[in-house]
Structure 1
Amino acid sequence: MLHSPVQLVAVIHHKLACQPPLNRTRRRRRLSGDNQRANMAAFLPRILSFGKNTKVLLNGLRLSAAPAQQYSVQVSKYGETVTHTGQVYDENDVRRARFVGRQKEVNENFAINLVAEEPVTHIESRVVSCDGGGGALGHPKVYINLDKETKIGTCGYCGLQFKQKHHH
């Protein structure tokens, strides 16, 4: 009986590594759609032969799933804060010399999180224009069609979302 996901991953890796190699010809030929499906069907039982152990792995992962929205700043394993671009340096990286004797200052209000907090704006018309607030702080005016299948239109520049308010 396996007790930890690490042991399960080791068993899965061992099972896949011990499988005999597939017969391959020296000359590669393009397979038709039917041949590709047949090869996939022949290979699928080999992958899924550890189905009982997969449930154990997935149950462990379900408990350790991360929340979809994170409001705290991430910290690397070296204790360094991670920026909005994911920038983090290794312990021996020469670029860390800039931060010797001081902490790297990271703005915790990432723009993507601030835009995600904005509610969807309900509009009566089927076309809306967005200029990001106008003036020097805005962006070029774009027109967003709201009567498509997507139902919610998103500005490609600033990320604001708009939805058409239907009368019927």
Structure 2
Amino acid sequence: EYYAYRGFAHAGRQFTGAGARVACQMQSIDELRHYQTETHALSHYNKYFNGLHSPQHMFDRVWYLSVPKSFFEDAYTGGPFEFLTAVSFSFEYVLTNLLFVPFMSGAAHNGDMSTVTFGFSAQSDESRHMTLGIECIKFMLEQDPDNVPIVQGWIDKWFWRGYRLLSIVAMMQDYMQPNRVMN
């Protein structure tokens, strides 16, 4: 979420048009709120699990985070249009809603109501994020026919990278829930 926040803030500063600029800045604010909410949620688990007191230490050393770190670092360094294709379209528009309902349902079955509350709050944000993704793709394709192979290459690349990223969440849903009523 933090890399998404930084990426959208950066992309928003690059656009001269008010619509894209404001949309990116609003999504940046949403992503920052998500990051802060997730960081705050860790504080509740800190008294039960050792190591959650230092998010930066955990961020640098937890092997499980290497896939999302790689995804968002690569998207962030790809430029504003590739970033929007990667995150707003391939990740937000195409893939995340496939996991939202089962993820929240699994959390509820396991008594994690804070995740459910946050998930329903974030889902309204996701609808705005999806709109930015599809409009960005539409805008790039309408500008020049030569953009079609470039955008198609980005979609192919980032769809499969996003698919691999979401497989981490799927694995957590399948194997890491204490009360596995859904698998």
Task: Using structure 1 for the length normalisation, give the TM-score.
Answer: 0.26
Larger gyration radius, structure 1 or structure 2: 1
Flag the structure with more relative contact order, 1 or 2, with Cα contacts below 8 A and sequence separation at least 6. Answer: 2
Higher strand share: 1
Task: Using structure 2 for the length normalisation, give the TM-score.
Answer: 0.25
Higher helix share: 2
